[in-house]
Amino acid sequence: MRKRGQRAGSAFVLLWIGPALTLILVVVVWPVIEMIRASLLRISRSGRTLGFEGLGNYLDLLAERDLPEILLRTLVWVVGVVVVTTVLSLGLGQLLNQRFPGRTAVRWAVIVPWAASVLMTALIWRWMLNNYFGLVNQVLMDLRVLEEPVNWLAHPNLALLWMMWVAVFVSLPFTSFVILAGLQAIPNEVYEAARIDGAGPLKTYVMITLPLLRPALLVGSIINVINVFNSFPIIWVMTQGGPGHATDTTTTFMYKLAVFDQDVGDSAAMAVVNFLLIIVMVLLYLRALRWREEVG
Amino acid sequence: MKRRLIGIAAAGLTMVMALSGCGGGGSGGGDGKTIKFIAAKYSEKTQPYWQNLIKEFEAENPGYQVNLEVVDWEQIDQKVKTLVQTRQEPDILNLNKFSDFARDGMLYSVDEAVSPQVKNDFLANFVEVGKYRGTQYGLPFISSARLFFYNKEIFAKAGLSAPPESWDEVKRYAQQIKAKVAGVYPLGLPLGAEESQAEFFMWAMNNGGGWVDASGEWAVNSPRNVETLTFLRDLTKSGLTQPNPETTNRKDVFNLFAQGKIGMLNGAVFMPTSFINPVNPNLRYGVAPLPSKDGATHNTLGVVDFLMAFKKDDGANKEAVSKFLDFCYAKENVAKFLEDEGFLPVTRSAGEALNSDAYLKQFIDQLPNAKFAPTDDPAWQAVDGAAKQRLGTAVANTDPKAVLDQIQQTAEQNSE
């Protein structure tokens, strides 16, 4: 009797979650399976599938001599952008949480980089950094900081720093609003209690605000890690990962394998590796923060 | 954030649907009279040209229908590849390569695709470029050649009267320009990813080097090529080029030349129509053969784009395809396309039609000696990709020999 009721219950549940489940299967699971399948196939440059390749594409990928450097750069890119974004956003969130005249206007202004297309932002920065006509060089030369124009995007390290700055710039709005929401969720009584106990501003911030912000920081940085890791338009527009592979991350490298090297199999293998990398990164991060204790 | 994720998911889904052929069947019912033609977009004039031509063709051949799709150069590779993967390949395609399709047995040979008159009208060296393993599959359609452009005003200011013929002169003249003319770059050298393979090849072929040796084997890291790249590196390090050739694309230096900021460079036939006339029609420039190491023999780089016809439905489309191709290759039709787009002829008849233009004639005269990239070799696409990405680094931080060794390795890995 009880068993039957349970079964009817689960069928009923399936009816409710069915559409969502189907959507996930079609939109998430299927592409992943296709991606893994493509990485195991031998695909001619004409586009014809020539047969099963096994792990050959992965071996080809591992033989790429630029790969270690690209992996390392991807790590620097992700960690650098996310850490700087988070630190700046802590300040910005605090500012937006204060009462001051024109606060609404400032809050809207902070959203702008988010609302603008990333592609457009990257294009504008590329032009501002242009060697011949760029605004950045002109201003710096007018201020006598520079004597002659610097070709910012031609030197791999400078280019990487500028691209990281653009990535920070477009990640700030989301992060600072997540932190703002976190700040607003902290009850005022806690601060009053701290004041009565005689805690100074610094102590209050470190002992009370930061710990209570943990959930917000956690959500913000995980989404940022995924986003920055997959970030393609900034690098593609500003340097195409060049010269050579000197500013590639694994994401742009994956694209170049398909477009420049015309090797769909290798590119799919890189896509699978990217997929695994991001999962591993997020798991490590969650583990480091012992999120189960936090949420549970 | 969420919208982005959904966007990515939607893109993924679309791709999967396209990959597995759910995107709706291709047009053309298999009656053999309706064909699909995918053309590359050269300029704004391309689409109207083909639309017009197809209208005329359909009027002359009742019952036949050509479905046209004009695709941007940046997307066409990916587009065609997806179509092939889903077995929806076009009947006729206009692209800059054909050998992969020929190797996979997808194309009609020249004898099947066009009439004998059209076949015999192709210029001999273009026929060679259209061959895969001895049989011609690629039907040359348009070509382009490169010559050396120099700014006469800058040369006069530097006390130079004629363009350089040898590499020594290139360097000496560049030094002279650097010393005497302020605010200009003596030599334009685009080694960015857009076209570095072409720029390098032009210098290499005028030093007896190139992609393959006399027997057709890959020889990317030959001593001549190393010497060539070392010479270009030396010019760069001596400050005789625009800054950072490794990140400069062709269109950047062409624009700078049009603005009168570059003394000399390897230019293309479409320089005046696309770059100089729109911004600076009064620019005083001269055109000369590409300089060579010894200054004696001068080669030029030829580029050729093809039409090709795909076998479909056991040859049911053959009649319609060859009817349309013959129509395309009619003398006045080809000549009109070349004039619209500023390219050079690949057929004798169109060549005669265009010979009266003094500017074009300089280029047409070079065509019989033009050298081509080995596009007929199936490994070429991989080599081309590796070269585009890597060559520039040889004038920056990497040793020229090491760069060429890597490209050679790519070539050997991709050869069967």
pLDDT tens figures, B277-291: 888 999 999 999 999
In a mutagenesis test of the B interface, which of A43, A46, A251 is the best target, namely the one with the most B β-carbons within 10 Å? A46
| A42 SS3 class | strand
pLDDT at residue B1 is higher than 50: no
- Any chain B CB within 8 A of the CB of A239? yes
pLDDT tens figures, B318-337: 899 999 999 999 888 888 89
The three-point CA angle A261-B229-B239 to 5° equals 115
Smallest Cβ distance to B104: which of A44, A155, A261?
A44
Residue A285 CB partners (closer than 8 Å, separation 6+): A221, A222, A225
Query: Which tokens is B201 given?
Result: 């090849």
In the chain, the amino acid numbered B178 is K
Beta-carbon separation of A264 and B81 below 8 A: yes
What's the CA gap between B61 and B82, in Å, rounded? 31
Beta-carbon separation of B389 and A28 below 8 A: no
Beta-carbon separation of A151 and B247 below 8 A: yes
pLDDT tens figures, A130-162: 888 889 999 998 998 888 888 898 889 999 999
Mean pLDDT for B92-98 is: 92
Query: Which tokens is A99 given?
Result: 């009462």
For A67-110, what is the HEC assignment?
HHHHHHHHHHHHHHHHHHHHHHHHHHHHHHHCCCCCHHHHHHHH
For chain B, what is the HEC assignment?
CHHHHHHHHHHHHHHHHHHCCCCCCCCCCCCCCEEEEEEEECCCCHHHHHHHHHHHHHHHCCCCEEEEEEEEHHHHHHHHHHHHHCCCCCCEEEECCCHHHHHCCCECCHHHHCCHHHHHHECHHHHHHCEECCEECCEEEEEEEEEEEEEHHHHHHCCCCCCCCEHHHHHHHHHHHHHHCCCCEEEECCCCCCCHHHHHHHHHHCCCCCCECCCCCECCCCHHHHHHHHHHHHHHHCCCECCCHHHCCHHHHHHHHHCCCEEEEEEECCHHHHHHHHHCCCCCEEEECCCECCCCCCCEEEEEEEEEEECCHHHCCHHHHHHHHHHHCCHHHHHHHHHHHCCECCEHHHHHHHCCCHHHHHHHHHHHHEECCCCCCCCHHHHHHHHHHHHHHHHCCCCHHHHHHHHHHHHHHHCC
pLDDT tens figures, B53-69: 999 999 999 999 999 99
What's the CA gap between B373 and B300, in Å, rounded? 11
The size of the A-B interface in CB pairs under 8 A is 104
The three-point CA angle B1-A169-A124 to 5° equals 100
Pair B80, B94: CB distance under 8 Å:
no
pLDDT at residue B412 is higher than 50: yes
Give the DSSP per-residue string, A173-215. Answer: HHHHHHHHHHHHTS-HHHHHHHHHTT--HHHHIIIIIHHHHHH
Provide the phi-psi class of A217: left if phi over 0, else alpha when psi is between -120 and 50, else beta.
alpha
Most confident range (mean pLDDT) of A101-105, B90-94, B215-219, B327-331 is B90-94
pLDDT on residue B397: 83
Smallest Cβ distance to A31: which of B16, B244, B392?
B16
pLDDT on residue A99: 87
Pair B83, B101: CB distance under 8 Å:
no
pLDDT at residue B5 is higher than 50: no
Burial (CB count <10 Å: 0-12, 13-18, 19+), residue A146:
middle
pLDDT tens figures, B230-255: 999 999 999 999 999 998 888 889 99
Residue B317 CB partners (closer than 8 Å, separation 6+): B28, B32, B35, B91, B310, B311
pLDDT at residue B16 is higher than 70: no
pLDDT on residue B24: 36
pLDDT on residue A292: 56
- Any chain B CB within 8 A of the CB of A174? yes
Residues in chain B: 416
Beta-carbon separation of B382 and A223 below 8 A: no
Report the relative pairing of strands B262-268 and B131-132 from DSSP bridges: unpaired
Chain A residues inside the 8 Å CB shell of B100:
44-46
Could you tell me the pTM of the whole model?
0.79
pLDDT on residue B272: 87
Pair B197, B397: CB distance under 8 Å:
no
Q: Which residues of chain A have pLDDT under 50?
A: 1-2, 5, 295-296
pLDDT on residue B25: 37
Tokens 């990140």 sit on residue = B247
pLDDT at residue B129 is higher than 60: yes
Sign of torsion over alpha carbons A185, A187, A192, A195: negative
CA A251 from centroid of its chain's CA atoms: 11
What's the CA gap between A256 and B276, in Å, rounded? 32
Residues 7-26 of A with CB under 8 A from B: 26
* Maximum Cα–Cα distance across chain A: 88
Report the relative pairing of strands B139-151 and B300-309 from DSSP bridges: antiparallel
In the chain, the amino acid numbered A227 is N
Chain B residues inside the 8 Å CB shell of A260:
193, 385-386, 388-389
Kindly state the helix (H) or strand (E) to which residue A242 belongs, with its residue range.
Answer: none
pLDDT on residue B42: 86
Pair A228, A52: CB distance under 8 Å:
no
Smallest Cβ distance to B104: which of A46, A227, A239?
A46
Tokens 């585009």 sit on residue = B388
Pair A158, A150: CB distance under 8 Å:
yes
Tokens 């994720």 sit on residue = B5
Which ipTM score applies to this complex?
0.72
What's the CA gap between A3 and A34, in Å, rounded? 38
Report the relative pairing of strands B34-41 and B262-268 from DSSP bridges: unpaired
pLDDT on residue A4: 52
pLDDT on residue B311: 92
Mean pLDDT for B111-127 is: 90
CA A216 from centroid of its chain's CA atoms: 16
> In this predicted structure, which of A147-156, B132-141, B173-182 has the lowest mean pLDDT?
A147-156
* Per-chain mean pLDDT for chain B: 87
Chain A residues inside the 8 Å CB shell of B81:
45-47, 264
Smallest Cβ distance to B243: which of A131, A240, A245?
A131
